[in-house]
């Protein structure tokens, strides 16, 4: 038997100790592997301790009017950013004092930032003032993990065209999840052309990688800026708006609900788009944006509501223009066809009143005096044509004509939140009355622009532009060029032809000229300018009727087509027509010289009316 020696005992101990050391070493190596390679959070933490990624936000594109006047630009401001993984022991009382916040706000914001990411920067305080920015710059070394990032905010040369420009706000989580460009705290166009042209306006972000020392001070670019990228400014927009006309239109609509839409017929360019009541676009910029938005949202006058694109009114008597053109095209009448008017039109138990005027009337005098009897007869005769086997077929044909003017469908403009209006379908009437339960007299109110029909002010102006062009229109749009004034937008598209002969439009234009020269719109005649127009008084079951007027001028070389709606103002000839007249004079002459006429409109108040 082999004897166990003392030497063997020591050898065994050494082996055990060696095994333990090797085991500990392997454990440490394994841990280092897990930390440095397998666990990315360690790498992120180590890197974030001496490297700061700063996003360079591009300047948002500028916005000009059709003459090159700057309307929307940018002003620098600053966001206070935080990287939670770098935040150490700081004097929170001093920090909160500088920001004018309390301790609980500090803690909740820091917790929110941690939930987003411990190692990526997020916004701690938005849009700090220049004074606060200066104070933080001096004491930034006391607050590791915090830094200031430059941004820009929108500014406006004039407080106008709020609904057209729209506004910029913080991007929501749904968009962040679908578009890798955006991060929490980024801004995006919410409405108007800020929304429609977001991709053009936003530009491209840049990135600066900076090193920082142990005192949270900037120590220069990482690797001499080798990995930095430059921000690319957004593209500028040249709009079709005439700033002078827009300002004037907003002045005329002060203390009134309604809208003005003016279009250049030959291009579809929107010259002015007024929705009233409106508000200063600057209210939705800066730290008070949320509070101001809530205030505007709760305002009973609904200033956020874009009436020019979203209000859908029965067009009233201005719709007689379309109905008359259809009757001409269908051969129901000639311009000389006459009908008598006794002041009331009766058809199978239905009575439609008409204003007092000479009788009989033909197309010219019927439009000139806005005869309800004449228009009702034309409508019934169009629907009752014997060539149609059913009411569904005849009404469907008539409705197709109406839709060719852009009624009941979105025009496809480059403005956000445009609504389609309404022209009821045959299916609608079949559901209400049954397939055999309705006749022309059932829907007779359509002939005078009432009933199951709604048009937006944009559609009213577009209809007028089509008549001015004698049978076609271009898609209304508000951006003329992108990036450079010579880089013309193609928003107008191809001319949209209406399936009605040009000669009928020519006839109707002459009748509309009579409206202004000797008819219901004569009060708004402009000396030396040949204007064609049509008045409308829209029935309103909720109060005073709406005042409506459409017009274009000059008669034989149209430069402007316009629609005006003044809610709860009564007759179209009394309020809407004078506003349109002043707008046309301002645009064509660059001034107005009817001071008494203008003062009457400026002083009119249909909002602050005593009960």
pLDDT in the model for residue 18: 61
Separation of alpha carbons 370 and 361, rounded Å: 10
Share of the chain above pLDDT 90, in %: 70
Q: Which of 35, 243, 262, 40 lies closest to 156, judged by CA? A: 243
Domain residues of the chain, as ranges? Answer: 51-140+148-239, 243-603
Q: Looking at the chain, how many residues does it have?
A: 611
Separation of alpha carbons 304 and 503, rounded Å: 42
Contact 393, 383 (CB under 8 A): no
Can you give the pTM of this predicted structure?
0.86
* Alpha-carbon separation of residue 292 from 79, 207, 287, 297, 461 (angstroms): 20, 33, 10, 8, 32
Confirm whether 51-140+148-239 and 243-603 share one CATH topology.
no
Tell me the fold of 51-140+148-239: Penicillin-binding protein 2a (Domain 2) (3.90.1310)
Within 10 A of 435 (CB to CB), how many other CB atoms are there? 13
CA angle 590, 591, 592 (to 5 degrees): 145
Mean pLDDT of the chain: 90
Q: Does 484 score more than 80 pLDDT?
A: yes
Within 10 A of 378 (CB to CB), how many other CB atoms are there? 24
Q: Which of 19, 537, 556, 584 lies closest to 272, judged by CA? A: 584
Kindly report, residue by residue over 402-415, the tens digit of the pLDDT.
999 999 999 999 99
Kindly report, residue by residue over 338-373, the tens digit of the pLDDT.
999 999 998 888 889 998 899 999 999 999 999 999
Q: Does 47 score more than 70 pLDDT?
A: no
Q: Phi, psi at residue 450, to the nearest 5°?
A: -120, 180
| Residue 593 CB-half CA count within 13 A | 6
Kindly report, residue by residue over 179-230, the tens digit of the pLDDT.
999 988 889 999 999 999 999 999 999 988 888 776 666 677 888 878 889 9
3-state SS, 444-473, equals HHHHHCCCCEEECHHHHHHHHHHHHCCCEE
Burial of 68 (0-12, 13-18, 19+ CB in 10 A): exposed
CATH architecture of 243-603: 3-Layer(aba) Sandwich (3.40)
pLDDT in the model for residue 21: 58
Separation of alpha carbons 360 and 363, rounded Å: 10
What residues contact residue 600 under an 8 Å CB cut-off, 6+ apart? Answer: 578
pLDDT classification of 45: cutoffs 50, 70, 90 = very low
Q: Which of 373, 383, 392, 396 lies closest to 320, judged by CA? A: 373
């Amino acid at each position: 038997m082999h004897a166990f020696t003392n030497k063997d005992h020591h050898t065994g101990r050494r082996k055990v100790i060696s095994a333990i050391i090797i085991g500990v070493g392997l454990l440490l190596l394994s841990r280092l592997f897990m930390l440095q390679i397998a666990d990315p959070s360690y790498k992120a933490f180590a890197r974030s301790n001496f490297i700061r990624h700063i996003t360079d936000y591009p300047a948002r594109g500028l916005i000009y009017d059709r003459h090159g006047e700057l309307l929307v630009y940018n002003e620098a401001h600053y966001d206070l950013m935080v990287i939670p993984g770098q935040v150490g022991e700081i004097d929170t009382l001093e920090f909160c004092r500088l920001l004018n916040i309390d301790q609980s706000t500090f803690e909740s914001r820091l917790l929110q930032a941690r939930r987003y990411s411990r190692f990526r920067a997020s916004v701690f305080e938005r849009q700090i003032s220049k004074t606060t920015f200066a104070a933080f710059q001096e004491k930034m070394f006391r607050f590791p993990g915090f830094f200031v990032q430059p941004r820009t905010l929108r500014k406006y040369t004039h407080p106008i065209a709020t609904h057209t420009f729209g506004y910029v706000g913080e991007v929501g989580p749904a968009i962040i999840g679908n578009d890798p460009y955006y991060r929490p705290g980024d801004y995006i166009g919410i409405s108007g052309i800020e929304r429609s042209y977001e991709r053009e306006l936003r530009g491209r972000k840049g990135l600066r990688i900076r090193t920082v020392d142990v005192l949270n001070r900037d120590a220069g670019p990482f690797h001499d800026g080798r990995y930095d990228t430059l921000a690319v400014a957004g593209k500028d927009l040249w709009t079709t708006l005439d700033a002078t006309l827009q300002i004037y239109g907003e002045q005329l609509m002060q203390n009134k609900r309604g809208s003005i839409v003016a279009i250049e017929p030959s291009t579809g360019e929107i010259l002015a788009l007024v929705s009233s009541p409106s508000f200063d676009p600057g209210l939705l910029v800066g730290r008070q944006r949320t509070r101001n938005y809530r205030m505007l949202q709760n305002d009973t006058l609904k200033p956020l509501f874009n009436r020019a694109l979203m209000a859908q009114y029965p067009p009233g008597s201005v719709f007689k223009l379309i109905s008359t053109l259809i009757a001409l095209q269908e051969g129901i009448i000639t311009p000389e066809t006459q009908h008598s008017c006794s002041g009331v039109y009766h058809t199978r138990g239905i009575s439609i009143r008409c204003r007092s005027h000479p009788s009989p009337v033909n197309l010219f005098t019927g439009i000139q005096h806005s005869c309800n009897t004449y228009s009702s007869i034309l409508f019934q005769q169009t629907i009752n044509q014997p060539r149609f086997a059913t009411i569904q077929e005849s009404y469907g044909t008539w409705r197709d004509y109406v839709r060719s003017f852009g009624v009941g469908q979105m025009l496809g403009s480059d403005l956000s939140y445009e609504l389609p209006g309404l022209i009821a379908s045959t299916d609608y009437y079949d559901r209400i009355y049954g397939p055999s339960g309705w006749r022309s007299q059932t829907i007779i109110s359509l002939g005078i622009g009432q009933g199951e029909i709604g048009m937006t002010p944009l559609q009213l102006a577009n209809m007028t532009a089509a008549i001015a062009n004698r049978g076609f229109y271009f898609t209304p749009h508000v951006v003329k060029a992108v990036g450079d004034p010579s880089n013309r937008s193609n928003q107008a598209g191809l001319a949209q032809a209406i399936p009605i002969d040009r000669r009928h439009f020519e006839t109707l234009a002459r009748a509309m000229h009579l409206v202004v020269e000797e008819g219901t719109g004569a009060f708004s005649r402009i000396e030396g300018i040949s204007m064609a127009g049509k008045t409308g008084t829209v029935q309103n079951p909720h109060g005073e009727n709406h005042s409506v007027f459409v017009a274009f001028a000059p008669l034989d070389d149209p430069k402007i087509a316009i629609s005006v709606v003044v809610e709860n103002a009564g007759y179209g000839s009394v309020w809407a027509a004078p506003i349109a007249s002043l707008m046309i004079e301002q645009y064509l002459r660059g001034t107005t010289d009817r001071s008494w006429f203008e003062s009457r409109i400026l002083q009119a108040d249909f909002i602050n009316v005593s009960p």
